[in-house]
Structure 1
Amino acid sequence: MQLVTVDFDGTLFQGDSFKLMFQAGRKEFGIKELATVLIGTAQALFLGITRGKHALRIHFFQAFAKTFKGKTEEELASFFDELIAAGRNQINEPLVHKIKEHQESGKQVIILSGALKPFLDALIEKLGLTVTTIGTELLFDQDGRCTGATGPVINGEEKVRAVANWLDKLQLDPEETEIWAYADSESDIPLLHFVDKPIIVNPKDGMREVAKAKQWPIFGEN
Structure 2
Amino acid sequence: MRLITVEFDGTLFEGDSFKLMFQAGKKEFGLQSWTTIFLGTLQALFLGVTKGKHALRIHFFKAFAKTFKGKSEDELASFFDHLIQGGKGQINQSLVNKIKEHQKHGDEVIILSGALKPFLDALIEELGLTVTTIGTELLYDEKGKCTGATGPVVNGEGKVQAITNWLKVRELDPEQLEIWAYADSESDIPLLYFVDKPIIVNPKNKMREVAEVNHWPIFGES
Same fold? TM cut 0.5: yes
Distance in 1 between the 2:210 and 2:218 partners? 11
Please tell me whether the aligned partners of residues 26 and 34 of structure 1 are also in contact (alpha carbons under 8 angstroms): no
What residue in structure 2 maps to residue 25 of structure 1?
Answer: 25
What residue in structure 1 maps to residue 80 of structure 2?
Answer: 80
Name segments (4+ residues, structure 1) moved above 4 Å.
Answer: none
What residue in structure 1 maps to residue 43 of structure 2?
Answer: 43
Cα 1:148–1:49 change in 2 (3 A) is same
Q: Deviations over 1:15-73 (max 9, x none)?
A: 12111100100100111101211332343244234322331232122111110000011
Task: Write the letter of the residue equivalent to 1:97.
Answer: N
Matched, 1:90 2:90: yes
Please tell me whether the aligned partners of residues 57 and 153 of structure 1 are also in contact (alpha carbons under 8 angstroms): no
SS in structure 2 opposite 1:198?
Answer: strand
Distance in 1 between the 2:38 and 2:22 partners? 9
SS in structure 2 opposite 1:77?
Answer: helix
What residue in structure 2 maps to residue 190 of structure 1?
Answer: 190
What residue in structure 1 maps to residue 205 of structure 2?
Answer: 205
What residue in structure 2 maps to residue 8 of structure 1?
Answer: 8
Distance in 2 between the 1:102 and 1:42 partners? 43
Quote how far apart the aligned CAs of 1:194 are.
Answer: 0.2
SS in structure 2 opposite 1:209?
Answer: helix
SS in structure 2 opposite 1:210?
Answer: helix
Task: Write the letter of the residue equivalent to 2:142.
Answer: Q
SS in structure 1 opposite 2:74?
Answer: helix
Q: Which runs of 5+ in 1 are unaligned?
A: none
What residue in structure 2 maps to residue 158 of structure 1?
Answer: 158
Q: TM-score with structure 1 length normalisation?
A: 0.97
Distance in 1 between the 2:51 and 2:98 partners? 35
Cα 1:216–1:29 change in 2 (3 A) is same
Cα 1:93–1:45 change in 2 (3 A) is farther
Q: Which runs of 5+ in 2 are unaligned?
A: none
Q: Deviations over 1:124-167 (max 9, x none)?
A: 11000000000000000011110010000000000000000000
What residue in structure 1 maps to residue 57 of structure 2?
Answer: 57
Distance in 1 between the 2:142 and 2:200 partners? 41
Task: Write the letter of the residue equivalent to 1:117.
Answer: K
Q: TM-score with structure 2 length normalisation?
A: 0.97
What residue in structure 2 maps to residue 141 of structure 1?
Answer: 141
Task: Write the letter of the residue equivalent to 1:94.
Answer: S
Distance in 2 between the 1:152 and 1:170 partners? 21
Task: Write the letter of the residue equivalent to 2:141.
Answer: D
Please tell me whether the aligned partners of residues 54 and 155 of structure 1 are also in contact (alpha carbons under 8 angstroms): no
Matched, 1:100 2:95: no
Please tell me whether the aligned partners of residues 7 and 183 of structure 1 are also in contact (alpha carbons under 8 angstroms): yes
Identity %: 75
Which deviates the most, 57-66 or 103-112? 57-66
Distance in 1 between the 2:196 and 2:3 partners? 10
SS in structure 2 opposite 1:128?
Answer: coil
Distance in 1 between the 2:178 and 2:26 partners? 43
Task: Write the letter of the residue equivalent to 1:4.
Answer: I
Distance in 2 between the 1:48 and 1:98 partners? 36
SS in structure 1 opposite 2:147?
Answer: strand
Distance in 1 between the 2:37 and 2:24 partners? 12
Task: Write the letter of the residue equivalent to 1:135.
Answer: G
